[in-house]
Amino acid sequence: GLIRRQLRSKYNFSVDGEVISSIGTGLCVLIGIKRDDGVADMKYIIRKILNTKIFEDDKGKKWNASVKDKKYEILCISQFTLYYVLKGNKLSFHRAMPAQESETFYMNFITELREQYVPELIKDGKFGAKMEVSIQNSGPVTLEIVSQKTSDSNVENEETSD
């Protein structure tokens, strides 16, 4: 998934002109689900969302506090297009989990995230809906978090890091 940091701004997203969810300071998480993702992948990504040091701490030290440390909000948006493949100039989404399976996976992801954090601080939208998303970033700061089994994982020796 992609994690975007936001400070003193809002993410709003609407379906048919109706605002479905919005948050203040926190993270907007675009969640892509691959065809072979499983529970271990879900738990790994959730752990990274909650614990990655993406904010300043209370003393102003950059990259030293997580969304969990700061008790900020998280807005989750399903985003199957993260798992595209270009075939010439045409997009293919065969790496993404099929819609019916991914909706169940996504809802389980949201449930698990709420169980591991503060449920009221987790917002989500309407799965599979065509949305208008208003985004204002500070930084900007955008991180790609991929499961450990992925060969292009961007995580180094996790055992020795905070």
| Residues noted as catalytic | 81
What are the CB-based long-range contacts (under 8 Å, 24+) for 104-113?
Answer: 105/33, 105/37, 105/42, 106/31, 106/33, 106/78, 108/42, 109/31, 109/33, 109/42, 109/45, 109/46, 109/76, 110/76, 112/42, 112/43, 112/46, 113/46, 113/49, 113/50, 113/74, 113/76
Residue environment code for 124-134, b if the CB has 16+ CB neighbours within 10 A, otherwise e:
bbbeeeebebe
- Ramachandran angles phi, psi of 18, nearest 5°: -95, 125
